């Protein structure tokens, strides 16, 4: 028992509570699924478990970032920040839910490029006033965003119902 208390003291109270919620929610989701409870309830409890696990990954990445600096933190965050989506995609593909994985990827791209970038602009503008950007970098990012939108839109428009390729 003393080693458990020492471990809890090292992690911190918030991390221990988050870990306990993640374990409890994961066990509850598993138990609810085995008991045959409605899939909506299993989904909600699983979402809580997944969200708390994502918080733990974020906290761990931040702690590692304090030791290794901003460059390593960016690499870790980009690699570990998408682990929940990766696991969901693996399980969805095993269940044959290809469309779910495709739409999750589209949602992730849109959330990261539009929502996060827009919030960064908004908060940066509120905090620092008028912002100035290096023009070549902005052009590159705009071009990449346009290519991403085209890569998503062209196949969708080409296979829309009523289009010439419908039924072929």
Read off the pLDDT of residues 68-103 as tens digits, 9 standing for 90 and up: 887 777 777 777 767 777 888 888 888 888 888 888
How high is the mean pLDDT of the chain?
80
User: What is the 3 state secondary structure string of the chain?
Assistant: CHHHHHHHHHHCHHHHHHHHHHHHHHHHHHHHHHHCCCHHHHHHHHHHHHHHHHHHHHHHHHHHHHHHCHHHHHHHHHHHCCHHHHHHHHHHHHCCCHHHHHHHHHHHHHHHHHHHHHHHHHHHHHHHCCCCCCHHHHHHHHHHHHHHHHHHHHHHHHCCCCCCCCCC
Alpha-carbon distance of 26 to 84, in angstroms, equals 14
- Asked if the model's pLDDT at residue 44 lies above 90, the reply is yes
- Asked if the model's pLDDT at residue 164 lies above 70, the reply is no
Q: What band does 48 get if pLDDT is binned at 50, 70 and 90? A: very high
> What is the structure's pLDDT at 162?
61
> What is the structure's pLDDT at 7?
60
Give residue-wise pLDDT tens across range 87-143: 888 888 888 888 888 888 777 777 777 777 788 888 888 888 888 877 887 788 788
């Amino acid at each position: 028992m003393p080693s458990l208390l020492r471990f809890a003291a090292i992690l911190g109270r918030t991390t221990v509570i988050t870990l306990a919620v993640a374990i409890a929610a994961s066990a509850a989701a598993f138990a609810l699924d085995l008991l045959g409870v409605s899939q909506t309830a299993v989904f909600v409890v699983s979402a809580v478990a997944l969200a708390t696990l994502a918080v733990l990954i974020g906290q761990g990445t931040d702690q590692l970032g304090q030791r290794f600096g901003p460059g390593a933190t960016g690499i870790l965050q980009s690699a570990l920040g998408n682990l929940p989506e990766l696991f969901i995609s693996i399980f969805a593909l095993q269940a044959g839910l290809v469309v779910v994985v495709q739409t999750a990827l589209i949602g992730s791209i849109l959330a990261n490029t539009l929502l996060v970038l827009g919030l960064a602009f908004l908060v940066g503008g509120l905090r620092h006033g008028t912002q100035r950007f290096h023009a070549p970098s902005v052009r590159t990012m705009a071009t990449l965003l346009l290519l991403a939108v085209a890569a998503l839109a062209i196949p969708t428009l080409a296979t829309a119902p009523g289009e010439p390729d419908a039924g072929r």
